[in-house]
Homo-oligomer: A and B are copies of this chain.
Amino acid sequence: MNISKIATLAGVSNATVSRFLNNGYVSQENREKIQKIIDETGYIPSAHAQTLRTKKTNLIGVILPKISSEAVSRIIEGAGKELTEAGYHILLGNTDLNIQKEIEYLNIFKNNQVDGIIFVATILTPAHLEVMEKIKVPIIVVGQQVEGYSCVYHDDFGAAYTLTKEFIQKGCKRIGYIGVTEKDIAVGYERKRGFMQALQDSGMEVQQELIKIGDFSEESGYQAINELMQLDKRIDGVFCATDKIAVGALEWMKEKQPEQIERIKFAGIGDSVLAKAISPKLASMHYYYKTSGKEAAKMLLDAMQSETKMIKEVKLGYELKLRESFK
């Protein structure tokens, strides 16, 4: 079923049907005839033919590292709502933590396959930037601050700084740190920087041996805390760059040294559902993931409308959630 058949059935030309569909001038009489045929046939215009003609796809490419992550799914949830309301659909680009795939998706989306891109980034390499340069549709980066692109991210430095100050204020003297690779500017570099800066500003020495770098898994938290506890039994605080890492660390404590768990303060970042569910309840920094998705979508919608390529950065705050692990 296509527009010509509808036109024939309604006794008008396809141009009139097209005008009817796109709010052009059509007589009341013809409006009714056409509507009747459309209702009867259940006709829906071919989005692909429309795209070919108008250059507008109504599609937004969303590139993300891992769909089964609480943060990421929240971001999509927020972005999706906003985009759907504006008449756009989401084309998914799940890279499964594979950096090469990120570049592949950027390339796939490049040639007008989508009207805009939301890129939930982790590690940005020069290769990424090179491809991104060539893309004509607007790109909004989520989760990382990146020069030359509109982005929405959390204040990782500030969150880590504030959280570390909290450790210090509560009297912690020897605080361990478990983080991730600094190639991830937001989670790895900025959070660690906030941690170290807060120590320095409080006149405390940064002890490099108490800084452990793992990956994003619970296991890496489990292993890192083990190393930390062997290194220095007087540790009285453990700053984990993510909640997941903290959960792993707490798991180790509960298994191996349950008598110490009350003495040592633990905190993560992200305020996941896990943080609230485990025992002791994990202190964490609440991040507004859904809002960040929503904000990114709004920025993208703006960018797609305007002619000028104005760059806008949105830095979202955080909220301290002190819980049992931080008494």
Residue ranges of A at the interface with B (Cβ–Cβ < 8 Å): 1, 42-49, 51-52, 57, 59, 62, 66-70, 73-74, 76-77, 80-81, 84, 89-94, 96, 107-108, 110-113, 134, 247, 273-274, 277-279
Of the candidates B49, B73, B94, the one whose C-beta lies within 8 Å of that of A84 is B94
Chain B residues in 8 Å Cβ range of A57: 48
Question: In whole angstroms, how far apart are the Cα atoms of A115 and B269 in the complex?
Answer: 41
**Are A111 and B278 touching (Cβ within 8 A)?**
no
Q: Across the A-B interface, give the 8 residue pairs with the lowest CB-CB distance, nearest first.
A: A279-B279, A44-B111, A90-B92, A68-B73, A48-B51, A277-B278, A48-B48, A68-B77
A178 to B76, CA, bound (A): 31
What's the Cα separation between A41 and B119 when bound, in Å? 24
- Report the bound CA distance from A1 to B279 in whole Å: 58
- Other 19 A-B pairs with CB < 8 A, given A67-B77, A68-B73, A68-B77: A1-B111, A42-B134, A43-B111, A46-B52, A46-B111, A46-B112, A48-B57, A52-B52, A67-B67, A69-B73, A77-B96, A81-B96, A89-B108, A91-B92, A247-B277, A273-B274, A278-B278, A278-B279, A279-B279
Set of chain B residues within 8 Å of A70, measured between Cβ atoms: 68
Taking a contact as CB atoms under 8 Å apart, the answer to whether B94 and A91 are in contact is no
Closest Cβ of chain B to A251, distance in Å, is 8
* Known pairs A68-B70, A274-B273, A277-B277; A48 contacts B113 (CB<8 A): yes
- Residue ID in chain B nearest A279 by CB atoms: B279
For this complex, 29 residue pairs linking A to B, each with C-beta atoms less than 8 Å apart, are A44-B107, A44-B108, A45-B111, A46-B111, A46-B112, A46-B113, A48-B57, A48-B113, A49-B52, A66-B77, A67-B76, A68-B70, A68-B73, A68-B74, A68-B76, A68-B77, A69-B73, A76-B94, A77-B96, A89-B92, A89-B93, A90-B92, A92-B92, A247-B277, A273-B274, A274-B274, A274-B277, A277-B277, A279-B279
Measured between beta carbons, the chain B residues less than 8 angstroms from A108 are 44, 89
Question: A73 to B94, alpha carbons, bound, how many Å?
Answer: 11
Residues of chain B with a CB closer than 8 A to A81's CB = 96
Q: In the complex, what distance in Å separates the CA atom of A108 from the CA atom of B45?
A: 10
Q: Is the CB of A48 within 8 A of B44?
A: no
Residue of B nearest to A60 (CB): B92
Identify the closest chain B residue to A59 (Cβ): B91
- Contacts of A90 on B, CB cut-off 8 Å? 91-92, 94
Cα A44 to Cα B104 with chains together (Å): 12
Contact residues in B for A91 (Cβ distance below 8 Å): 59, 89-92
Instruction: Write out the residue numbers on chain B whose beta carbons fall within 8 Å of the beta carbon of A278.
Output: 277-279
Specify which chain B residues have a CB less than 8 angstroms from the CB of A49 in the assembled complex: 52
Contact assessment for A67 and B80 in the assembled complex, using a CB-CB cutoff below 8 Å: yes
Measured CA separation A213–B51 after assembly (Å): 47
When distances are taken between beta carbons in the complex, the residues of chain B under 8 Å from A44 are: 107-108, 110-111
Cβ of A46: which chain B residues have Cβ within 8 Å of it? Answer: 52, 111-113
Considering the complex, give the chain B residue whose CB is closest to the CB of A70: B68
Query: With A52-B46, A73-B67 given, is the CB distance from A94 to B80 under 8 Å?
Result: yes
Q: How far is the CA of A285 from the CA of B48 in the complex (A)?
A: 44
